[in-house]
Chains A and B, each alone.
Chain A
């Protein structure tokens, strides 16, 4: 993905699935990791370790990433990310989104699991369009 460096901005929104045991607390973990400057690393780790996302496991991941663990525990226990998560859930509802993962690439809606080629096609086409504008 080197070729896309500096050309694409990725914005991640939270959408914990309401019937999934640890979805919500995992989202809290990601928000706190973000506040400590390690969102991308935590995000990667959560996807890799899913569905092992119970409280104890999350704390272990925080350690693994050298986060301030005391602060981390306090944050996930007190749901300090709730405002952000609720804001994103509301947005999802407004956009009529129910499926994860869901992507918007320059407004083009992509739902469900896709391979890299699928995204590349759209991204390169959109970059090309942007150039012509």
Chain B
């Protein structure tokens, strides 16, 4: 008797547990929705203040941050080009070549990791990478501290904002604070989600249905940022234009080398997050980008291989790149593709942010 009772208890317990599991799965499936943009975060370790933002904006446009004084953050994240450089492969430090596409910085406040491979965990950490990168700004961090500190206006501003002398960590903090203010304004999708049912045209609404339904886009592009903040190997093809370009190959080898990839001399592909983690699951995996403002940020993907949204939609419709295990053919017809594109273009584009280059001290 005794043992029967305990088996029953165990059975009931496991049943309850199983139900709990399925509820959980149900909840996380249901959780995948598009949400309106909340206020951008102002993290405790670097609260956003108007003066800090002002300082960060100056630094963002200041060419002193590059070794030869030619390049500012805005060179590759140009406000007039929705904080991209509209190039397949981003611009580069003179005489070198970049190897990835420059993502937009709009709504970057909502990202949980940075770069296509997520190698930086905070915006503050991220800022040092392009400054040091030999193919981006090619600057020395100790040196740039002095270059900024020698400018009286900067010195005063750092004292005012941080109560400290200029240093690279504070430069990064100011840059991050500025970037956290770059937030989509008044996007139709946000008005729609907050209850204005007329904010989207009928076609955009149909497109939204494709996005959340037959197109399965919502699986990875969800939440307010329209990204699961995860990494997926969609097997986007290598961009053939650069396959034989020496400077491009140099940069890719260099990236593989500093990540201690043993066969870096023979590297022929961008292995994405794998470079950093060396985990099989990350092989050629790239971060799910936000889709907010996406109509203004062509070309697309980590290597800019797709010129326009039609090409991207076609890629997903045929089930992604060769050998991927994430996507299946969708069978969207021309009309469904058309309204999906209208959704992406119309619903997700906010007002243009009017950021003008400031006076550099």
Contacts and interface: CB of A to CB of B under 8 A. Distances in A.
Contacts of B307: 117
A109 to B, nearest CB: 9
Contacts of B241: 115
A99 to B, nearest CB: 6
A17 B85 contact: no
Given A18-B68, A99-B70, A112 B85 contact: yes
Interface string B47-80: 0000000000000000100001111000100000
B60 to A, nearest CB: 15
B91 A98 contact: no
Given A98-B75, A100-B94, A19 B68 contact: yes
A111 interface: yes
Interface in A111-125: 111-115, 117
Nearest to A111: B91
A107 to B, nearest CB: 13
B94 A17 contact: yes
B6 interface: no
Interface string B315-334: 00000000000000000000
Q: Select the residue from B63, B70, B85, B92 with max chain A CB neighbours within 10 A.
A: B70
Given A112-B87, A114-B87, A20 B63 contact: no
Of the listed residues B68, B85, B94, the one surrounded by the most CB atoms of chain A closer than 10 A to its CB is: B94
Nearest to B78: A111
Interface in A90-131: 98-100, 111-115, 117
Give the interface centre of A17, A18, A112, A114 by most chain B CB atoms within 10 Å: A112
B95 interface: yes
Contacts of B68: 18-19
Interface of B: 63, 68-71, 75, 85, 87, 91-92, 94-95, 241, 307
25 contacts: A17-B94, A18-B68, A19-B68, A19-B94, A19-B95, A20-B94, A20-B95, A98-B63, A98-B69, A98-B70, A98-B71, A98-B75, A99-B71, A99-B75, A99-B91, A99-B94, A100-B94, A111-B75, A111-B91, A112-B87, A112-B91, A112-B92, A113-B87, A114-B87, A115-B241
